Amino acid sequence: MAGTLEGKVGLVTGAGSGIGRTTSLAMAREGAKVVVSDIDESGGRETVRLIEGAGGEAFFMKADVADPAQVEALVKAAVEKFGGLHLAVNNAGIGGEASTAGDYSIDGWRKVLSINLDGVFYSLKYEIGAMLESGGGSIVNISSILGLVAWPTASAYTSAKHGVVGLTQAAAVEYGEQGIRVNSINPGFIDTPLLRSAGIEPGGDIYNMIAGKHAMNRLGQPEEVSEAIVWLLSDAASFVTGIALPVDGGFTAQ
């Protein structure tokens, strides 16, 4: 049976770990050729190895999404390698420092905004041109439940992720008639290395407290987010654009 993304070329940022890796694998499983990009070269190359091991097609290119020149070169390379661009998952992101707004460092604020919001804008900006030339496409920006509600000690992250929702809606209304759909996915807490880097370990008090904030009383797995992303990328979601879709185990329903 043909996959839902057969014949499509897709680009994933932050694809060397977590949600970006499982999404790249799911896209390849559905038949897309995948351009795997990350600032972490070894993680990105491992994702390509996993895709190829499962019979898919992918190539890695290192790019820092906070640098517009690197993002422009990435999109150009994707088109040169695979002949077009139809799908993009703008996923690269960091958690950033944990402090209340009054104590948040200026450098810390700028770092989070430069990757989590500017990086999504640069990606989208260059992807749109390539998609228009490829006859249309579907973009999924990775926001967060913190693009819909707030979390204490995460003002920069919360602001950037709310910005991603606004940017998604803006691009959706601008490009709907030209065949480009733009949506965001807003995951709840997902068990990935991003949480480990914040010191959140399975079985720990913070982990259990966070689990309890979800109606399902657990964290999500990255594969559960990827399946929603693949649906939004596919033609099964052909009349869906401009939405912010929580994949959050009921976090925002409470």
Binders of ligand NAP in range 122-141 (CB under 6 A): none
Is residue 157 annotated as part of the catalytic site, yes or no?
A: yes
Instruction: Classify burial at 3, counting beta carbons within 10 Å of its beta carbon; exposed 0-12, middle 13-18, buried 19 or more.
Output: middle
Nearer residue to ligand NAP within complex by CB, 178 or 217:
217
Of 152-181, binders to ligand NAP (CB under 6 A) are none
Q: ∠ CA 75-13-175 to the nearest 5 degrees? A: 60
* Least Cβ distance, residue 168 to ligand NAP (angstroms): 13
13 vs 24: CA distance, rounded Å: 9
Amino acid at 245: L
What is the rounded CA–CA span in Å between residue 249 and residue 83? 38
Q: Considering the complex, what minimum distance in angstroms separates the CB of residue 171 from ligand NAP?
A: 17
Q: How far apart are CA 22 and CA 89, in angstroms?
A: 12
Q: How far is the CB of 246 from ligand NAP (least distance, A)?
A: 10
Catalytic residue among 126, 157, 175, 207: 157
Q: Is the Cβ–Cβ distance between 159 and 113 less than 8 Å?
A: yes
Quick check: 94 binds ligand NAP (CB under 6 A)?
yes
Q: Which residues bind ligand NAP (CB under 6 A)?
A: 13-14, 16-20, 38-40, 43, 64-66, 91-94, 115, 119, 142, 144, 187, 189-190, 192-195
* Catalytically active residues, by annotation: 157
